Amino acid sequence: MTIPDIPAPDPNPRRPIRSLPKNACDCHAHIFGPASRYSYHPDRGYTPPNASVEAYQHMLSVLGFDRAVLVQPSVYGTDNKRLIDGLLQAREQHLDWRGVAVLDPGVTDDEIAHLHALGVRGIRINLLFPGGVDFNAITTLSERIEPWGWHVQCLIDVSDFHDLSGTLDRLPLPKVIDHMGHIPVFKGVNHPGFQHLLNRIDGGDTWVKLSGPNRMTARVRSPYCDVDPFASALISRNADRCVFGTDWPHVKLPNTMPNDGDLVDELLRLVEDDTTLEKILVHNPTQLYGF
């Protein structure tokens, strides 16, 4: 029997402090289990509790999201079956969802075409948790997925990565950086890694997810005011390259489990302008994921 070693998300999400615009998209979430049907990678960094499509859709409906992006988590390695079945289930329910997969370099062209038809629009590199795929493997895949208009999504700590610029520049695709670069707040916005991230989104070849403030913060719970300078710097530098994600169901957290309504409120607290909010929640995801 597979026993979870991390907590489940809050099952009672609360509504945000104001309504989200129509076609708002949650650009970062995972689904898990049951383990009896979807086997976990033996070298995984955690064992999650079940997090079903139904539970996720409930959260989306309460918060006011009409669209979503499922991201392949490290615990499944390159076995995308749980992701594929989630996208199929969403299609059956007439939900407007997309996906980001993790691919083995030996994947066939037919498999890539099938994933694209299901709504997959990118591949993921995960250098923080065991079970992910590294940059070397992604480089070999880049030319094959480029014709499909896909991107490379990177889970990295931009403050702790040697030659970040040279590594990202090797990839001839748009790049998407998870969780605002995953930089601990004590390193500050002037850290060279974060400054490089700002320059990259300013240049236009890189997008960033305004997600995971609870992964960067030194605070136990929201509001994560110490993360404000990072999020504000990214939005100010180029709001056209910012998207938002809840990060549901919040795996391997360094602190307490948040309510997803609180996480949306973190964005709403920083972005009071409706035009900018609609850009981040609607127009940018539409372009990036091809809604």
Contacts of 160 (CB under 8 A, 6+ apart): 193
Rounded Cα–Cα distance for residues 281 and 7 (Å): 28
Active-site residue (options: 26, 66, 247, 262): 247
Rounded Cα–Cα distance for residues 150 and 176 (Å): 11
Rounded Cα–Cα distance for residues 242 and 201 (Å): 8
Nearest to 180 by CA among 124, 250, 235, 126: 235
DSSP letter at 20?
Answer: P
Tokens (6 digits) for 251: 């795996």
The residue type found at 119 is G
Rounded Cα–Cα distance for residues 88 and 179 (Å): 27
Query: Measured at the alpha carbon of residue 16, what is the angle toward residues 12 and 22, in degrees to the nearest 5?
Result: 110
260 belongs to the catalytic site: no
Nearest to 73 by CA among 37, 112, 30: 30
Rounded Cα–Cα distance for residues 128 and 119 (Å): 25
Rounded Cα–Cα distance for residues 150 and 244 (Å): 18
Rounded Cα–Cα distance for residues 105 and 76 (Å): 16
Query: Measured at the alpha carbon of residue 51, what is the angle toward residues 49 and 54, in degrees to the nearest 5?
Result: 150
Enumerate the active-site residues: 247
